[in-house]
């Protein structure tokens, strides 16, 4: 029996339901329930929260979330083969687990969630990045979630938390850090997963800010950082030339040296420039 919930160990669950991992669904499962409980704890106090879990698979992380006291878990899984295993988890935690069979990029989850909501997921990396971007660009701010606790390829995690003047610093860091606080809270070696992926992974915990860190128009900020980092080795006066003939004066007005390169500029600097471009 599983130590934390009386359900069978995940290896047995996977065998019993013949859940051979599918590469095209990015299936690398976590089988150690101590580890999944530890990941669940990184999300903070779950007892008063609904948790949205994307891609529960055989339910390792789901069991961690429930064992750690989540009020309710809404789990969205694309692979119908996982449903019977998840059904067993739902039975062990009556009324606390709802499973939706569908694509997380398409399902309307809001109808099924009661605030406050925390999002926790070990997702395929491509889906994870796409959802992160969506979760950070809702129609209105603050968004439906209080925090996002997500597994990423280590390199992507480093891009999310990167600070200026580092190799990983770029659009993703600026995009996330503008409206949220992001921290790497765990590193996991490939062997933590079955099958083991080629890369190392990290869990990133992201909490939303009530307001953007510095005022700016989101679309303008996106446009400027895209231009600046698409030619990250060039001086800004040249990479941002397309913004108008007076770009040098605007850079100076924003407190940025026109000869500086994108990776030297802080979020505050980019926001100051965005305000001058918008105005």
Known binding-site residues for S-adenosyl-L-methionine equal 28, 30, 55, 77, 103, 122
In angstroms, what is the minimal distance from the CB of 42 to ligand SAM?
Answer: 13
In angstroms, what is the minimal distance from the CB of 27 to ligand SAM?
Answer: 5
Distance CA 59, CA 57 (A): 5
Q: Is 129 an interacting residue with respect to ligand SAM (CB under 6 A)? A: no
Cβ proximity of 225 and 179 under 8 Å: no
Query: Regarding beta strands 145-153 and 180-188, do their DSSP bridges make them parallel or antiparallel, or are they unpaired?
Result: unpaired
| Element of type H or E holding 250 | helix 247-253
The window from 121-129, 178-186, 254-262, 270-278 that contacts ligand SAM (CB under 6 A) reads: 121-129
Cβ proximity of 42 and 149 under 8 Å: yes
User: Which listed residue (12, 45, 103, 155) binds ligand SAM by CB under 6 A?
Assistant: 103
> For residues 138 and 195, which CB has a smaller minimum distance to ligand SAM in the complex?
195
Which single residue brings its beta carbon nearest to ligand SAM? 55
Q: Is 61 an interacting residue with respect to ligand SAM (CB under 6 A)? A: yes
Q: Is 150 an interacting residue with respect to ligand SAM (CB under 6 A)? A: no
Cβ proximity of 71 and 50 under 8 Å: yes
Distance CA 102, CA 79 (A): 8
Q: Is 12 an interacting residue with respect to ligand SAM (CB under 6 A)? A: no
Q: Can you say how many angstroms the Cα of residue 261 is from the centroid of all Cα atoms in its chain?
A: 28
Q: What is the dihedral of CA 243, 244, 250, 256, to 10 degrees?
A: 50
Q: Is 50 an interacting residue with respect to ligand SAM (CB under 6 A)? A: no
Q: Is 177 an interacting residue with respect to ligand SAM (CB under 6 A)? A: no
User: Token pair 């295993």 is at which residue?
Assistant: 85
Residue 202 structure tokens: 């990290």
User: Token pair 């934390």 is at which residue?
Assistant: 4
> For residues 17 and 237, which CB has a smaller minimum distance to ligand SAM in the complex?
17
In angstroms, what is the minimal distance from the CB of 165 to ligand SAM?
Answer: 33
Instruction: Enter the DSSP assignment of 214.
Output: S
For residue 195, whether the previous peptide bond is cis, meaning omega lies within 30 degrees of 0, is yes
Q: Is 7 an interacting residue with respect to ligand SAM (CB under 6 A)? A: no
User: Which listed residue (46, 70, 76, 99) binds ligand SAM by CB under 6 A?
Assistant: 76
Q: Is 64 an interacting residue with respect to ligand SAM (CB under 6 A)? A: no
Residue list for the binding site? 28, 30, 55, 77, 103, 122
Q: Which residues bind ligand SAM (CB under 6 A)?
A: 25-30, 54-57, 60-61, 76-79, 82, 103-105, 122-124, 127
């Amino acid at each position: 029996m599983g130590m934390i919930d009386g359900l069978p160990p995940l290896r047995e669950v996977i065998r019993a339901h013949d859940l051979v991992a599918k590469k095209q669904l990015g299936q690398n499962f976590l089988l150690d329930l101590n580890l999944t409980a530890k990941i669940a704890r990184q999300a903070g106090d779950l007892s008063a929260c609904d948790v949205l879990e994307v891609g529960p698979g055989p339910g390792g992380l789901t069991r961690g979330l429930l064992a750690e006291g989540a009020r309710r878990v809404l789990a969205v899984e694309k692979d119908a083969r996982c449903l019977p295993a998840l059904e067993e988890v739902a039975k062990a935690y009556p009324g606390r687990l709802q499973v939706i069979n569908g694509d997380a990029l398409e399902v309307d989850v809001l109808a099924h969630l009661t605030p406050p909501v925390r999002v926790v997921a070990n997702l395929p990396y491509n889906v994870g990045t796409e959802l992160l971007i969506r979760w950070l660009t809702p129609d209105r701010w603050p968004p439906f979630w209080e925090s996002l606790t997500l597994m990423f390829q280590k390199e992507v995690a480093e891009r999310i938390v990167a600070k200026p003047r580092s190799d990983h610093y770029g659009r993703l860091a600026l995009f996330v850090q503008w409206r949220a606080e992001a921290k790497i809270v765990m590193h996991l070696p490939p062997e933590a997963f079955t099958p083991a992926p080629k890369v190392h992974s990290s869990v990133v915990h992201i909490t939303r800010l009530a307001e953007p860190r510095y005022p700016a128009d989101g679309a303008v900020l996106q446009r400027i950082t895209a231009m600046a980092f698409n030619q990250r080795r060039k001086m800004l006066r040249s990479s941002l030339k397309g913004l108008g003939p007076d770009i040098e004066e605007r850079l100076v007005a924003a407190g940025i040296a026109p000869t500086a390169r994108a990776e030297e500029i802080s979020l505050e600097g980019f926001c100051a420039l965005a305000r001058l471009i918008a105005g």
